[in-house]
Structure formats: C-alpha cells, structure tokens
Structure 1
C-alpha cells in the first residue's frame, strides 16, 4: 500500500508552516498526526526527505526557544510538548527502517537531539515531570536510531560518551534511566568496554553496577553487566577497585548467577577474572575473622566480610564442574590460604561460643524466616571445605599439601551436623573422598587416625558411610541398610 502523495505533501507543508507561526495546540496536533502516520510501515517507507528536513528545522527552533525561555513562562509547557512530539516522530520513523536511520543521521538529527537532551539535564524548571516526557522520548529516539546501524551507533557514542550517558543514567526518572541503559547496551562492543576501564571513564561503568544493586528490576543494566562487563578482566578489576564492598557483593552475585546459567561452559568470563578473584579472596579473607570478636561493629567491616563470603561462593562455583577454571587448583597459595582459614575459623568456634560455633538450632533455618536475621557466615565453613575438596579433585599435589597442612583431621572433625553450616557433613565427605582417591599416604593417615581413636567416624556412619581398611587402603563406602 502506498502513502497518498497529496497527504504526504500536506503533512510536509504543515510541518514547515510551524516555523512561521506562533506555537499553538493545533501545531501539537499536527505533529501527533505525523507521529501516528510514521507508525505505519507503508508511510515510513514512502516519507520524503523534505518532511524530515522540516521536522529538523522545527526541532532546532524549539531548542533555541527553550534555551531562551523563562522557566515559569506560559509557553514553556507547549514548547516541551512540541519537543516531545518531534522526538516521538523521529523515534517512530526509525523502526525497522535503515533508510530513515541513515537519512536522519545525515540530516544532523543526532547532534541537535543530544544538545536538547543535555540542556534538559540542567534545565531549572519547577516541575521536573514536564521535562521527563521529552527526555524519555529523546532517549528512545537514540535507541531506535542505533539499533542495527553501526554508523549511527558510532556517532551517538562519539557525541555522548562518557559524560552525557552518565548524566542520563543518573536522572531521577526510572524510565529515562531504563531507556538510556538500552542505548548504552546497543552501542557497546568489545573495544568500548575496554574504554570503560580507563580511569576517566570508569564512573560510567560504576554507575551501571550501582543501578544493578539499587534498581535490580532495570533489566538493561543487568544485561550490560553480564553480557559485556563480566567479559572484560580489565574492566572487572578497575570496577572492583573503585567499588564499595556492597557494590562488590552485587558484582559477585551477578558473576555467580552467570556461572550457574545453563551452558555455563560458555559463560564468557575470562580466566584472568578468576585469577583476580582468587587473589582478592586471599588478600581479604582475614576480614571474616573479625565477625567472631565483635570488632565488626561498623557496617564497613561487616560489608568487607560479606565480600569475602561472596568471593568464596564464586570460587566454589568456578571450581565445580567448570573445566575452564580448574587451573585455579594451581593458583599460588589459594589452597594453603583456604586450609589455614578453615583451621582458624574452626578453632575460634571451639574456643568460645561465637558466630563460628557449631549449633543445632535448625528452626532458625525455616524458609518462612526473614533471611536478614540469619548469621552472615551461614555455610561459610562448609564452603571452605567444599573449595578444598574442589581444589583436590584428581590433583595429587594438592592432596599431599592438605595432608602436610594437617587439614585431613581438620575436615574429619567437621563431619558433625551443624545448623550454622547446612550440608557441612556432605561437603566434608566429598572432600575426604577427593583427598583419599588414589592417594595411599592420605589413606594410611586416615587409617592410623581411626586406629588411634583420633577420628570420630560416628557422624559418617549416621550419614550412611563407613570408613573401611582393605588391602592396606582406606575406602569410604555406603553402609548397608541392614547393618
């Protein structure tokens, strides 16, 4: 179906007429008619360049009028409505139309639109809501202009990165922020993500991560973080160093979720990120110990400890059936740090009643409870044991190292059920299995512990396992139901 030539000419002439008359509600209705026509594909495909040229003249004129306007003037509201409608028409014209995208770019719409948006961000008007409407429409236009059009992406990026994009993501209007996030996502590529890691640009990346924490329902920011940010080790390291501990926890939660997604062998997280996180865990893990002494009275100390706990969770997931991260078994000092931390936590918990002490209060784990009332170190000791087990899987050097660090009796001493560490018994059994597998020296050590009564196997038996010596080797086997 072809657009009526007479109708197209009439609209074009009417748009041009706005420039020569005092603004009126009739002009707003005229632009709304153009917006409605541009929703139809047949009109978008047939619209003449002259219509866009006249629309750009109207938009440019409105920009000049707004800059000179009185913030309390009577004409301001109509000027803002007219600007919003121009943006709507521009937005609609770009839908599934590479031809119109290129045409609007060539005519200069990007530069004028960005200058108007920049002006709105500093416009001191009594009612911010009046500015939000054209602001939203203008950002939507940029998003539609950029979709599938690399040249438009390049121009938008060049003219808005990083300051204007950062300002748009900081507007006190959720819809504007969401649309700006979509524009950022559309324009990003591998090289631009690397640009974000530079000191002068890092604030933009940090703002995206802040939005992931404070407004998790904004899907675009989460998509940006998982599909772009987590794939760059340079950016992850730059962001991490500039983040609060609370923001680091958000980053680590996104990493954890990415690792757990189906098909996670292609999660896109580079090995260098895993190395960085392992080193960060080693450097900061002592912060958790402060939780037992009461020295964690400040929120900052608590958040630092929670960061360590989140790092441990990510490392456990990375070393669980993710072949691309199993090089962490050889990460310098990681296993030693984990065993020593387990030893410290276990000793502190036994020395006096504190946050690391074993408990039998299973009612506190009710799914109806408010999770905020739970201990911040729930499962921490269990996850330390899990990480040790992962790092020792089919790795003789690490098996031997745990024995030399006297970690085997330590793990066996954690086979008892503990409500502060759900599944700690199962993780201990898992770790023991990995420590004993094809390792005669470790098997002999456990056998000697049993003969001396130094290890209590009753908990293992209650869980359905039996430690049995056979032909000089120690086996961990299920107990028969009738035994």
Structure 2
C-alpha cells in the first residue's frame, strides 16, 4: 500500500509542477521539493515519465537565462536567493532520480541535462557573490553529475566532453570536485595515467592540509579512501615494471606510487585510519606487494635492491625511491591498536618479511624507522606476535641488533621466550 501511495503522490506532484510551470519560482519550489522526497524510493523513480524531466530541464534553462542576465546587470535579478534555492532543489530532485536507475540516467542525458548542468555550473562560478545559497546550488549540481555518471559509461563520456579540461581543472583546484565522490570516480576513469598522476598529487595536497573534518567532510573522504584503496589493490603489481631501467617512467606504475602515498597519508588521520583498517584486502595487498618487491630486489639489481651506498647516480630521483618504506608504513598504520590486523599479518607470514627489511637502505630512506614503528604496532599487547619474534631471534632468524634498535630484547623465563622492552643500562 505504501508503495502504491508513493506512486500516486508522485503522479500528483508531477502534474502539479506541470500546472505551475508559468508561476513564480517560489511557487514551483514546493512541487519540486515534493518530487525530491518521493524519488528517495525506487518505485517512483522507475515510473517517472520523460515529461517530468523536460519540466525540470525547462526550469534550469530559465534559471540559466536569469543568471546570465544577472551577470550582465546585477540589478536585473532581484530575488537571486530564491532562484538559487530552486536551482539547488531541481538538482537534488534529478540527483535522487538517478540513483540505481539507468532508465532515468539515459532519459536525462538524451534530453541534454548534462550539457545544461555544466553550462549552469560555469555560470554559477562566474557569479559575483559566493554566499551560501550559491554554494549549495553548486554542490547539488555536482552531486547530480556524479549520480548520472555512476555506473554509466555513456553519461561519463558526455560529462567528459562537456567538462574537460577547463571546468574539470577548476573543480579540482577549488575543492569542489572532492566534495562529490561519484563524480571523482567517473572522471578518474576517463583520465590518462599521466593525468591521474597529476590528479592524485592534487588530492594528496588536499589530504595533507586537512587536520580536522566535519562529519560531512569525513563521510566524503571515507568514500574517497574506499575508492583509492580499490584502485591501489587493482594496480599494485604494475610497480614491478620499475625493476627494468627502461620502464623507470612507466606512467601506470607512477599512478600506483601516488596511490600508496595518499593511503599512507589517509591512514595518518585517525578517522580515516579506523575505516581503512576495516578493509582486510588492503592490508593483504600491502603485504603481498612488499613481498613481491622485496623478492624482485633480491633476484636482480634494481631499484628494489637494498643498497648501503648510492653508486647509481641515475637512481637518486627514481620515482620508486621509498616505495618499500611506504608499504611498511601503511602496514604499520593499519595495525595500530588493531588486534585483528596484527593477527592477519601473522597469518600472512608478514612479520619475518618486515624484520628482513630492518636495515639501512639508500633506495628507501627511513626504511629502518618505519620497520621499527611497524614491529612495535604488531607486538603491542599481542603475545603471539611477540613470541614469534622471540623464537626467530633464538634461532638466528631475526637480527638481534635490529631488535635492540627497536628498544626490544628477548628474555627466557621458565623455558619460555619473552619479547620485552630493553632495560636501560645505568649511566
């Protein structure tokens, strides 16, 4: 009954909007707002007719004309806030109508709503005022583009043709793009590897400069974190191309390096760390990649080979310098005060791998320090991991000097090996 009632309400709201198309914007607003609420349900979305989206398109086109006139003569648009509120509500309505509804995405794209929206976004950017109603309209317009692009290659292509490169670059630099995770995904899919490297560097700068987040900002960045972690997991093995000097500038591998940099930075933020710690595949990927690169460095002399004296002048600025250190940093972050991940590293035989990287390596600045940090996080309140390292030291499989550098020592108590903090010698 509830679904049938919603469908009836939707038909009534659409008809009311049609009757009020010639009315004042404030009058049409309530009809659009009613449709926005109804489109939160799947059945009204599925039975929406093309005529409704034509009406919403007409409202946006009228708004575009009014905004253009306002930019020429600001006094011409007396009620700017009402116009912007109506624009925002139209975009909310369209955004909701796109959710898991390829039919509506297709209809809107064919009507030209993408091109109209991009044009309106450019107009909003050119407005002489930057107050809250305009910012809300801007945000809702981007959310609509994100939703119409979600899982829809044709819509992604259309957005790309309308928005790249000028609007796209503006959105990145001004942070607007990062407010819309679905749009980030859609446009990222269209970038070349070289463009992805630049894009990821810009995201890295934004992630690094943010120390505190509102709840809304944190939710947005968690969606970015999920997406970027998935990209890293998918492409991590491409970094092995860098074992060949001829492929030292392989762009796909450079993307992987930048993804790792961002994940290290994101896991340094407590809110994002807790979320990323719940992605078990990310930890497994980091360990597997560390194992592959470590093995590759032992098989032949390359950028992943441990070296104590820099003899290859050409390697000083190699893009993979520090890659293994960053993998260990990521593992350490993911295991920080997290028993489940500590145990997972044990099960994946990751502890001997990390101990094997407790050394000075000119190809990986601070490798030893990150390994020390990671071992501390792996052994904190984890007796099984402590015992494994103690047994390895007794068998000569763990370097005692490395343990000492971590402030750890192995003691034997009642025939049991215990790993504990090293006692300070009296001065």
Q: TM-score range by the shorter chain?
A: 0.5 to 0.7
Match of 2:205 among 257, 261, 265: 257
Write the distance in 1 (CA, Å) between the matches of 2:78 and 2:192.
34
Q: Secondary structure at the match of 1:246?
A: helix
1:160-309 paired onto structure 2 within 5 Å: 163=115, 188-197=137-146, 198=149, 199=155, 200-208=158-166, 211=169, 222-223=173-174, 226=175, 228-266=176-214, 267-268=217-218, 269-294=220-245, 296=247, 302-309=250-257
Match of 2:341 among 398, 403, 410: 398
Write the distance in 1 (CA, Å) between the matches of 2:268 and 2:78.
38
Normalised to the residue count of structure 2, the TM-score between the two structures is 0.64
Say whether residues 1:149 and 2:97 are aligned partners. no
Q: Which residue of 2 aligns with 1:468?
A: 410
Write the distance in 2 (CA, Å) between the matches of 1:468 and 1:306.
41
CA 1:419–1:179: 2 relative to 1, 3 Å: farther
Aligned residues: 327
1:64-463 paired onto structure 2 within 5 Å: 111=65, 141=72, 149-151=80-82, 153=84, 163=115, 188-197=137-146, 198=149, 199=155, 200-208=158-166, 211=169, 222-223=173-174, 226=175, 228-266=176-214, 267-268=217-218, 269-294=220-245, 296=247, 302-361=250-309, 374-461=317-404, 463=405
Q: For the Cα contact (< 8 Å) 1:412–1:428, is it kept in 2?
A: yes
Normalised to the residue count of structure 1, the TM-score between the two structures is 0.57
After superposition, the CA RMSD in angstroms is 4.2
Q: Secondary structure at the match of 1:473?
A: strand
Q: Which has the larger radius of gyration?
A: 1
Deviation at 1:480, TM superposition (A): 5.1
Q: Secondary structure at the match of 1:230?
A: helix
Q: Structure 1 stretches of 5 or more lacking a match?
A: 1-107, 116-137, 171-175, 213-219, 366-370
Q: For the Cα contact (< 8 Å) 2:64–2:120, is it kept in 1?
A: no
Question: Whose relative contact order is higher, 1 or 2, with alpha carbons under 8 Å and at least 6 apart?
Answer: 2
Q: Structure 2 stretches of 5 or more lacking a match?
A: 1-61, 91-111, 150-154
What CA deviation, in whole Å up to 9, does each residue of 1:266-291 have, x standing for no partner? 34434222111111111111110011
